């Protein structure tokens, strides 16, 4: 049966659907496919799903092309998961359009029907959706389509991006998968002459607190090599104004190609492109440098476990907890060009083999410059393998589970961020207020660094920046110490860092709606801890918490802030164990030490019951300490109930302070 056609082609560059369209989901056959690229570039599987290269209409590895150009008759056959009575067929001819000669439809039994034959003349200047509108819905459900081409009709390559069907008469249109609620009216701001110049400023990395921006500058007279050289620079923000950028100098920079890709939450650890050799040369890979009291350390190679650093890297970023790295690289496992990979930090400090993050994120073209936000879930990256506005666009995706393999469908950030040129190196602080990236549109020279105010729909989940120092309780002077952050729900591993007051405050990224224990350890001091309660918070904020370390002396009394019990009971909660283990460690290090454990409650409820509860609780603490090998005679207990408050029992927050366990050193 042959259907009469009303419309044979439709040149469309719209960005929205007007009805439900079903795109081909499987390749059932193909005359030939291009095999000259890497991975799955230009293979027949690239025409599955919706268009990746329209509406911008350009050649791309995410579309099918025959094995050779101008070869004559070629064909492809595709199937659909959803079978329907079809009123309209769409063939996305992204490059070399005008070669489709016939289209056959097949019902569920495999019977063939001719549904399209080309006329003598067809428009062929631009990529397009070839829209085939039938006079009436097919009386059969279409299970598959076969598209015939004469590639000799149009010189050079011919590419098909997608094949779709619909039961509607409204034209099928290619669309850009736009992030929702991103106003096109947003204006990007040039960071100005203190940051940008007539040279190239690229690869910005904003610190999580948003006060320092690091970037790479090319061909600038103040680089270590004035001509055609890449150096790392930084600029600081003060009172809303970006100060004059400064070259980071040696050893971060030398006369080779230097570039930064990551800065840690405390501004003390940076990742650099390439491996720094002692003779001043560079080789492929990744290097790490640490900020010290005397400056940045000589960059050392960052080891990827069982993984040779000889691949093409185009960006990498470590998550806020320091245990996961997202990379863009090209190797034998890529889908096409550069892909996004994930690597996990091992117990010995090395990194696991990089795993390809799959088809949800990666295409047969390139995915570059990944940036993982402080929420550890929101990923921004650049791609030329998805429908967009120009050569390279910026996309956002959200992690769906802890496998790091399942991600939401990437969304284009829209025309406020992306132009007909190339945009890349998206970076955003923990506040999520402004995003920073590089672009050449309206720049002072070539590429400049811009910022855009970010609407909530594409911001990361709000987190908290915690900043502080470690002080001697008696002298109030800062002391070096190990700072440990504990998730009191015990759902995340501990984070630790070495605090050096000569370098500056410690800084950590915390998730909202959680409770943390923050502690510090130093030889000769009792490990102190404070509770950071964010269970009622859901907005970005910055906190300061200084930790007071108490010298180990007879008579010193210390509050055990992270000891937790079940409500109105004396059962120890798991969140208490790290604090109790520190007491055990202290007593093991000081084998003649004896202590007094004191229990306290608020004044709510029966007085005698509260006194008994306080006694039971400290006895439970003693039981745990003794179970770890500490002799019973070294631990005394007393329960004072509500008789010794340290805060008025007028509010719940104050009452929490009164519900506490303390210990006093009786003997050393």
CATH code where residue 361 lies: 2.120.10.30
Q: Output the DSSP codes for 456-508.
A: GGGSPPPEEEEEE-EEETTT--B--EEEEEEETTS-S--EEEEE-TTT--EEE
Banded pLDDT at 390 (limits 50, 70, 90) = confident
User: What value does the CA radius of gyration of the chain take, rounded to a whole number of Å?
Assistant: 31
Q: What is the pLDDT of residue 15?
A: 35
Does residue 283 sit in the same domain as residue 203? yes
Banded pLDDT at 653 (limits 50, 70, 90) = confident
**Has residue 183 been placed in a domain?**
no
Q: What is the pLDDT of residue 533?
A: 93
Q: What is the pLDDT of residue 564?
A: 84
Q: Output the DSSP codes for 256-275.
A: SB--EEEE-TTS-EEEEEEE
Does residue 629 sit in the same domain as residue 592? yes
Give the whole-angstrom CA distance, residue 615 versus residue 611: 6
Over residues 465-492, the mean pLDDT reads 93
Does residue 422 sit in the same domain as residue 499? no
CA–chain centroid gap for 390, Å, is 23
Over residues 543-558, the mean pLDDT reads 91
The answer to whether 269 and 291 are in contact (CB under 8 A) is: yes
Q: What is the pLDDT of residue 546?
A: 96
**Residue 308 above 70 pLDDT?**
no
Does residue 634 sit in the same domain as residue 528? no
Which of 96, 88, 159, 150 shows the shortest CA–CA distance to 118?
A: 150
Does residue 307 sit in the same domain as residue 444? yes
The answer to whether 660 and 559 are in contact (CB under 8 A) is: yes
Does residue 22 sit in the same domain as residue 112? yes
The residues near 528 (Cβ < 8 Å, ≥ 6 apart) are 473, 519, 520, 547, 548, 549, 550, 558
pLDDT one-digit tens code per residue, 59-108: 999 999 999 999 999 999 999 999 999 999 999 999 999 999 999 999 99
Does residue 50 sit in the same domain as residue 99? yes
**Residue 413 above 50 pLDDT?**
yes
**Residue 641 above 90 pLDDT?**
yes
DSSP state of 539: S
**Has residue 178 been placed in a domain?**
no
Q: What is the pLDDT of residue 6?
A: 41
**Has residue 519 been placed in a domain?**
yes
Number of compact structural domains in the chain: 4
Share of the chain above pLDDT 70, in %: 95
Over residues 108-132, the mean pLDDT reads 87
Does residue 293 sit in the same domain as residue 442? yes
Over residues 17-32, the mean pLDDT reads 87
Q: What is the pLDDT of residue 14?
A: 37
Q: What is the pLDDT of residue 330?
A: 84
**Residue 584 above 70 pLDDT?**
yes
Last residue of a domain, one of 530, 551, 572: 551
Give the whole-angstrom CA distance, residue 48 versus residue 145: 13
**Partners of 341 in the β-ladder:** 327, 356
Give the whole-angstrom CA distance, residue 465 versus residue 448: 28
**Has residue 277 been placed in a domain?**
yes
Give the whole-angstrom CA distance, residue 353 versus residue 333: 12
Does residue 453 sit in the same domain as residue 474? no
Which pTM does this prediction carry?
0.88
Type and span of the H or E element at 306: none
Over residues 604-610, the mean pLDDT reads 93
Last residue of a domain, one of 518, 551, 584: 551
Q: Lowest-confidence range among 100-104, 147-151, 331-335?
A: 331-335
Q: What is the pLDDT of residue 7?
A: 38
Banded pLDDT at 305 (limits 50, 70, 90) = low
**Has residue 659 been placed in a domain?**
yes
Type and span of the H or E element at 590: none
Does residue 491 sit in the same domain as residue 531? yes
Q: Lowest-confidence range among 76-85, 174-183, 650-659?
A: 650-659
Which CATH number belongs to the domain containing residue 469 in this structure? 2.60.40.1120
Over residues 275-293, the mean pLDDT reads 92
**Residue 606 above 90 pLDDT?**
yes
Give the whole-angstrom CA distance, residue 260 versus residue 292: 18
Which CATH number belongs to the domain containing residue 568 in this structure? 3.30.1330.60
Most confident of 48-52, 416-420, 564-568: 48-52
pLDDT one-digit tens code per residue, 554-575: 988 888 888 888 888 899 988 8
Largest CA distance in the chain: 102
- Tell me what the pLDDT averaged over the chain comes to: 91
Which CATH number belongs to the domain containing residue 116 in this structure? 2.60.120.260
Does residue 380 sit in the same domain as residue 439? yes
**Has residue 177 been placed in a domain?**
no
**Has residue 371 been placed in a domain?**
yes
**Has residue 126 been placed in a domain?**
yes
Residue 123 belongs to what domain range?
5-166
3-state secondary structure of 295: strand
Q: What is the pLDDT of residue 323?
A: 92
Over residues 303-317, the mean pLDDT reads 67
Q: Lowest-confidence range among 315-324, 396-405, 522-531?
A: 522-531
Q: Lowest-confidence range among 70-84, 179-193, 306-320?
A: 306-320
pLDDT one-digit tens code per residue, 197-249: 999 999 999 999 999 999 999 999 999 997 878 999 999 999 999 999 999 99
Banded pLDDT at 609 (limits 50, 70, 90) = very high
Q: What is the pLDDT of residue 68?
A: 96
Last residue of a domain, one of 431, 458, 485: 458
Does residue 270 sit in the same domain as residue 259? yes
């Amino acid at each position: 049966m042959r259907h009469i056609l009303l419309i044979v082609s439709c040149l469309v560059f719209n960005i929205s659907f007007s009805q439900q369209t079903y795109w081909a989901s499987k390749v059932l056959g193909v005359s030939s496919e291009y095999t000259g690229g890497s991975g799955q570039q230009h293979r027949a599987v690239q025409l599955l799903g919706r268009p990746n290269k329209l509406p911008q209409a350009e050649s791309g590895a995410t579309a099918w092309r025959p094995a050779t150009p101008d070869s004559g008759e070629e064909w492809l056959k595709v199937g659909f998961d959803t079978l329907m009575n079809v009123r309209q067929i769409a063939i996305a001819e992204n490059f070399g359009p005008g070669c489709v000669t016939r289209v056959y439809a097949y019902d569920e039994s495999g019977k063939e029907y001719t549904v399209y034959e080309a006329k003598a003349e067809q428009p062929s200047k631009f990529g397009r959706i070839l829209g085939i509108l039938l006079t009436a819905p097919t009386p059969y459900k279409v299970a598959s389509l076969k598209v015939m081409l004469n590639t000799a009709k149009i010189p050079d390559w011919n590419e098909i991006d997608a094949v779709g069907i619909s039961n509607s008469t409204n034209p099928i249109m290619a669309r850009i998968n736009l992030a929702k609620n991103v106003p096109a009216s947003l204006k990007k701001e040039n960071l100005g002459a203190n940051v940008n110049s007539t040279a190239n400023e690229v690869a910005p990395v904003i610190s999580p607190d948003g006060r320092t921006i690091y970037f790479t500058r090319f061909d600038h007279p103040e680089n270590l090599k004035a001509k055609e050289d890449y150096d790392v620079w930084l600029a600081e923000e003060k009172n809303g104004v970006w100060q004059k950028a400064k070259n980071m100098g040696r050893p971060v920079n030398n006369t080779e190609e230097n570039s930064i890709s990551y800065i840690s939450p405390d501004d003390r650890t940076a990742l650099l492109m390439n491996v720094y050799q002692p003779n001043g040369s560079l080789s492929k890979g990744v290097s790490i440098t640490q900020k010290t009291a005397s400056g940045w350390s000589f960059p050392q190679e960052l080891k990827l476990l069982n993984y040779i650093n000889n691949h093409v890297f185009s960006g990498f970023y470590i998550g806020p907890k320091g245990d996961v790295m997202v990379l863009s690289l090209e190797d034998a496992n890529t889908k096409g060009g550069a892909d996004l990979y994930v690597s996990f930090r091992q117990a010995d400090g090395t990194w696991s083999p990089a795993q390809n993050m799959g088809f949800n994120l990666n295409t047969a073209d390139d995915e570059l410059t990944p940036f993982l936000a402080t929420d550890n879930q929101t990923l921004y990256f650049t791609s030329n393998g998805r429908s967009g506005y120009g050569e390279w666009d910026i996309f956002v995706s959200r992690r769906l589970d802890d496998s790091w393999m399942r991600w939401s469908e990437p969304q284009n950030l829209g025309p406020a961020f992306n132009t007909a040129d190339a945009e890349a190196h998206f970076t955003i602080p923990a506040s999520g207020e402004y995003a920073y990236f590089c672009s050449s549109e309206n720049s002072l020279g070539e590429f400049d660094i811009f910022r855009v105010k970010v609407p909530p729909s594409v911001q990361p989940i709000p987190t908290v920046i915690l900043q502080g120092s470690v002080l001697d309780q008696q002298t109030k002077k800062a002391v070096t110490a190990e700072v440990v952050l504990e998730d009191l729900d015990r759902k995340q591993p501990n984070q630790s860092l070495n605090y050096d007051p000569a370098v500056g405050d410690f800084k950590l990224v915390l998730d909202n709606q959680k409770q943390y224990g923050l502690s510090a350890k130093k030889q000769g001091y009792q490990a102190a801890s404070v509770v950071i309660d964010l269970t009622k918070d859901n907005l970005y904020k910055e906190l300061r918490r200084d930790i007071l370390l108490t010298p180990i002396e007879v008579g010193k009394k210390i509050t055990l802030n992270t000891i937790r019990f079940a409500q109105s009971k004396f059962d120890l909660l798991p969140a208490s164990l790290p604090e109790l283990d520190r007491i055990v460690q202290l007593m093991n290090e000081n084998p003649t030490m004896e202590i007094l454990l004191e229990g306290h409650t608020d004044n709510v409820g029966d007085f005698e019951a509260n006194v008994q509860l306080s006694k039971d609780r400290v006895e439970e603490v003693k039981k745990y300490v003794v179970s770890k090998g500490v002799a019973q005679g070294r631990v005394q207990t007393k329960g004072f109930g509500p008789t010794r408050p340290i805060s008025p029992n007028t509010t719940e927050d104050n009452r929490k302070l009164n519900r506490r366990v303390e210990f006093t050193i009786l003997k050393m």
